Structure 1
Amino acid sequence: MTQAASLPSPRSWAGIALVLGSAIAWSYGGAIQRFIGVADGWTIVFWRCLFAGLFLAVFMLLRDGPRGTLRLFKALGWPGLSIAVGFALVSTFFVLAVSMTAVANVVLFMASIPLFAALLARIVLGEPITPVTWGAIFAVILGVGIMVSASIGEGGSVLGLTLAASIPAIFACMTVITRRYPGIRMTPAACGGSFIASAIAATQAGAFAVGGQDLALLFCFGALNLGLGMALYVTGARLIPSALAALLGTAEMILAPVWMVILHNEIPSGRTILGGAIVMAALFTYLVSHARPASNRTGGAAA
């Protein structure tokens, strides 16, 4: 095989750029939320998820047309609705957790999603777990324990940490569902989940009125962070192997704490950095070990 033949195709480069762009878009969510002057977390969830749902609805209308978009929603079934509910919970818990604890804690909990999914797939689907995966799971438990001990020792919110820890557990359930039902379309599920979260938040929010600057930030938080990130990912993940998409996705966990340091001077504690480093090392080891067997599969569920 010649060197030219082994190089990624233009299609693959496009997929890499899109998935990396999605990770970058998702990474600045916590930084945007810190700029928003709205004290009520439920009000933030309402506006963010409303804007995200509208963005994804417009994206599908442009991509698939009105009839195609309607067909996508009709074809969701109960597995797709389950993913929509999971997306609603994750979107809500992220905002509430960030309002109670450091962004680094939230995103580093999220870094353990593939390992939570591997463990749950073993329990529910009977999928085998390799020794490397078991080692990574135990390393993540150790790293998370160090991060939690640091946060509690500094007077951190137990509820915030609980919400942050719930995110990878919910994502793991969503991952197992998509493995069991690989035909699930992620875009309508995410769109529906955004509207579900917004509707639930509307029943809990103390007020809906926000200032012009905060409304602009909420639009960016919903449309350009959550919605655009999803649109970029579902478009790019179809063009590259799933293992590569997962590796590129780790850029979100690396960049999110960096934005917080640069924009808000929110510097993680030494133990948080140590625990986070252990989690990220375990995640990289797991993903790299699975890269070759998965190299012939495209990323994620259907868009």
Structure 2
Amino acid sequence: MDSETAVSAAKITSPLPGAADARNGVLLVFGAALVWSFGGAIARGLDVGDPWTIIAWRSFFAALFLLGFMLWRDGPAGTVRLFRTMGLPGVAVAVCFATASISFVVALGYTSVANILLMQAGVPLIAALLGVVFLREAVDRVTWGAILAVIAGIGVMVSDSFAANVSFIGDGLALVIAVVFAAATVITRRFSGVRMTPAVCLGVIIGTVVGVVLSSGLIVSARDYGLLFLFGAFNLGLGMAMFATGARLIPSALAALISTMEPVFGPIWVWLIHAEVPAPRTLLGGGMVFAALVGHILWQWHMSRRTALPLPN
């Protein structure tokens, strides 16, 4: 092999420029879904009747976490610069995340968790369609198949809990969550050069203001303060930071697809922490979702390795 061929082979066998970013994006979005999945277990332990009080404190603690993280990472001047440069895309993402987090807490008072989870199953499909329309992202047949498998799996998970009565407000808010979350995913991917951590921070600041204005009272017990801190800083703040960072590194459909691991892990934590044994259909549907996601990720890994194979001499 001559020197020119050796150099060419070295370039081809070396990691692709975006390979590390894509891997980090997958890990970050998966981590966000894992963190978000603790939300049901934390909320189950709260003894707060007013949803706006929960929204106010949850958003406040999330804002403190995100501001502290940016100040530690970027310093005061860098943090101010991030807010100034996020532009309209950042404001749009902030509004999307604020709408989703507020709607989630309010919707729990009108409809079942099962109905909300079922709507969330549609997020990958909505994100894929928005990505095709606005980003011209090609979605292959394997990804479409994984999306449909995820929707079917979550449908099986929640099929035991369907109620005869349909709440227009609750189910409408659940649909809003799915749409705005998918939109935030696509915007984050479209403007991948813009750091979206300040955007999600602005989103929880909006949630704090809305919660404080509409709350009937902000005084809660010391135990609830602790749980609300976890609900805000860990579940909401850390999860949003990881998702906003990772979603700009991978296709919109894949980011939304991986995030559906949240309703898969959620019942497991409630089972382990609160001794609520999941129904057989929950386990079956969760297994379907998990298998679809793992299969899709392994397929992508296989294709990336094929792309990186050296050319024959």
Given candidates 72, 84, 88, the residue that maps to 2:98 is: 88
Aligned residues with identical type, % of pairs: 47
Structure 2 length normalisation: TM-score? 0.74
User: Which position in structure 2 is the counterpart of 1:132?
Assistant: 142
Given candidates 31, 36, 46, the residue that maps to 1:26 is: 36
Quote the Cα distance in structure 2 between the aligned partners of 1:12 and 1:250: 18
Closer/same/farther in 2, CA of residues 294 and 110 from structure 1, 3 Å limit: farther
Please tell me whether residue 38 in structure 1 is matched to residue 45 in structure 2: no
User: Which position in structure 1 is the counterpart of 2:200?
Assistant: 190
**Residues 49-85 of structure 1: CA distance to partner in whole angstroms, max 9, x if unpaired?**
0110111111111111111110000011111100011
Runs of 5+ in structure 2 lacking a partner? Answer: 1-13, 16-20, 306-313
> What is the letter of the counterpart of residue 216 of structure 1?
G
Q: Out of 31-40 and 147-156, give the one that drifted further.
A: 147-156
Contact 2:29 2:259 in 1 (8 A): yes
Please tell me whether residue 219 in structure 1 is matched to residue 229 in structure 2: yes
Superposed CA RMSD in Å reads 3.9
Quote the Cα distance in structure 2 between the aligned partners of 1:136 and 1:12: 18
User: Which position in structure 1 is the counterpart of 2:162?
Assistant: 152
Q: Out of 71-80 and 176-185, give the one that drifted further.
A: 176-185
Which residues of 2 match residues 5-154 of structure 1 at below 5 A? 22-100=32-110, 103=113, 106=116, 109-110=119-120, 113-146=123-156, 149-153=159-163
Structure 1 length normalisation: TM-score? 0.76
Closer/same/farther in 2, CA of residues 294 and 124 from structure 1, 3 Å limit: farther
Closer/same/farther in 2, CA of residues 193 and 149 from structure 1, 3 Å limit: same
> What is the letter of the counterpart of residue 44 of structure 1?
I
Please tell me whether residue 229 in structure 1 is matched to residue 267 in structure 2: no
Contact 2:111 2:170 in 1 (8 A): yes
Closer/same/farther in 2, CA of residues 247 and 142 from structure 1, 3 Å limit: closer
Please tell me whether residue 179 in structure 1 is matched to residue 200 in structure 2: no
Contact 1:94 1:164 in 2 (8 A): yes
- Number of residues paired by the alignment? 287
Q: Out of 120-129 and 67-76, give the one that drifted further.
A: 120-129
**Residues 247-270 of structure 1: CA distance to partner in whole angstroms, max 9, x if unpaired?**
986654432211111223444444
Contact 1:247 1:284 in 2 (8 A): no
Contact 2:124 2:257 in 1 (8 A): no
Contact 2:51 2:105 in 1 (8 A): yes
Quote the Cα distance in structure 1 between the aligned partners of 2:136 and 2:116: 29
User: Which position in structure 2 is the counterpart of 1:200?
Assistant: 210
Give the structure with higher Rg (CA).
2
Quote the Cα distance in structure 2 between the aligned partners of 1:180 and 1:14: 18
Closer/same/farther in 2, CA of residues 120 and 264 from structure 1, 3 Å limit: same
